[in-house]
Amino acid sequence: MLFSELLHQHPFPVTVTIAALIILIAFSLVLYAYVKRKINTSALIGTLILGAIILLALGPRFGCAGVLVLLVFFLSGNLVTKYKYDRKAELGVAEGNKGMRNINNVLGNGLSPVIFALLYAISSQSQSQSGNTILLLGFSGAVATACADTFSTEIGQAEGNPKLITTLKKVPVGTNGGVSLPGLGASMLGSGLISLVTLAFWFGVQKSSRTVLLLTCICLLSGFLGGIVDSFLGATVEDRKPLKLNKHHVNIIATLFGGIFAILLGYFFGLQTQ
């Protein structure tokens, strides 16, 4: 049976009340983060716009699940930034402005999920309002990559003795492309967290526990590999000629890769729609 047929037979059970509650909670927490100066005005506006686009693009069937996934990343990312912040500040690698995020952070981590959400919306128009649900894997993989990278950076810099991913030579903490065992473990943790939350897409849709496990594993692996790509790009092209990509550009590319990798795995395991 096709993945899309299974989704059609068992739609995600979200009532209007639950949907409204999720949206209200998400808006309240983002506003709270702004009041507490965890994000600046540009990040507030950007977050709300991207959230609204994703909500509308994924539609009534998956929109609230998409917002929930982003919300968990938003909250966990802000929390993990505070992990041993003073130590990271001493090392000169802490996020500036006491961890306050701006619009560049929002776009760096949120642009790719928006792209996959819009592709899902486009596929809905071409498939008689039955979107290609494998694109939800792309969305999930992109967010998992963003979370994996955030966890890896914030925890790895506080705990690890990094080595450059391309040469495995020891490098100072904060070096672009530096990886460590604590950082890689944190990357798996961040990707795993999002993988569990993306069960909201499949809850009530798939009866087969094997299929649900496969979807979760694909998301986890894609997020972790996306984080590896981020480190590799950091070691090879970030802040280097001729491209001079900054960390936000690298984040966009890596999250795109995480989403594409998830889609390819979905096709490989026969989860595609026709």
Residue 251 CA to residue 257 CA, distance in Å, equals 10
Q: What is the pLDDT of residue 209?
A: 81
Number of domains making up the chain: 1
Collapse the DSSP code of 101 into the 3-class scheme (helix H, G, I; strand E, B; otherwise coil) and give the result: strand
- Helix (H), strand (E) at residue 187: helix 181-197
Using left for φ > 0, alpha for ψ between -120 and 50, and beta otherwise, residue 262 falls in alpha
Quick one: what percent of the chain has pLDDT higher than 70?
A: 88
Residue range 130-157: average pLDDT? 91
Q: Is residue 274 part of a domain?
A: no
Lowest mean pLDDT among 85-94, 125-134, 234-243: 125-134
Using CA atoms in the order 164, 244, 227, 198, what is the torsion angle rounded to 10 degrees? 170
C-beta separation of 142 from 255 below 8 A: yes
Q: What is the pLDDT of residue 98?
A: 65
Q: Is residue 273 part of a domain?
A: no
Which band of pLDDT confidence, cut at 50, 70 and 90, is reported for residue 1? very low
Q: Taking 70 as the threshold, does the pLDDT of residue 46 lie above it?
A: yes
Residue range 218-224: average pLDDT? 97
- The whole model's pTM is what? 0.90
Q: Taking 70 as the threshold, does the pLDDT of residue 18 lie above it?
A: yes
Distances (CA, A) of 152 to 32, 68, 126, 148, 236: 25, 22, 39, 6, 18
Q: What is the pLDDT of residue 131?
A: 57
What's the domain range around 24?
3-268
Q: What is the pLDDT of residue 8?
A: 45
Q: Taking 80 as the threshold, does the pLDDT of residue 138 lie above it?
A: yes
- CA dihedral over 169, 240, 74, 89, signed as positive or negative: positive
Q: Is residue 228 part of a domain?
A: yes
Q: Taking 50 as the threshold, does the pLDDT of residue 2 lie above it?
A: no
Q: Is residue 160 part of a domain?
A: yes
- Helix (H), strand (E) at residue 178: strand 178-179
Q: Is residue 74 part of a domain?
A: yes
Collapse the DSSP code of 122 into the 3-class scheme (helix H, G, I; strand E, B; otherwise coil) and give the result: helix
Q: Is residue 75 part of a domain?
A: yes
- State pLDDT tens for residues 54-90: 999 998 888 989 999 999 999 999 899 888 888 888 8
Backbone Cα Rg of the chain? 18
Give the chain's mean pLDDT: 87
The residue among 18, 129, 27 whose CA lies nearest residue 65 is 18
Q: What is the pLDDT of residue 207?
A: 55
Q: Is residue 64 part of a domain?
A: yes
Lowest mean pLDDT among 148-157, 179-188, 241-250: 241-250
Using left for φ > 0, alpha for ψ between -120 and 50, and beta otherwise, residue 28 falls in alpha
Residue range 161-182: average pLDDT? 93
The crossing angle, in degrees rounded to 10, of helices 103-126 and 41-81 is 100
What single DSSP character describes residue 235? Answer: H
DSSP 15-80: -HHHHHHHHHHHHHHHHHHHHTTSB-HHHHHHHHHHHHHHHHHHHHHHHHHHHHHHHHHHHHHHHH
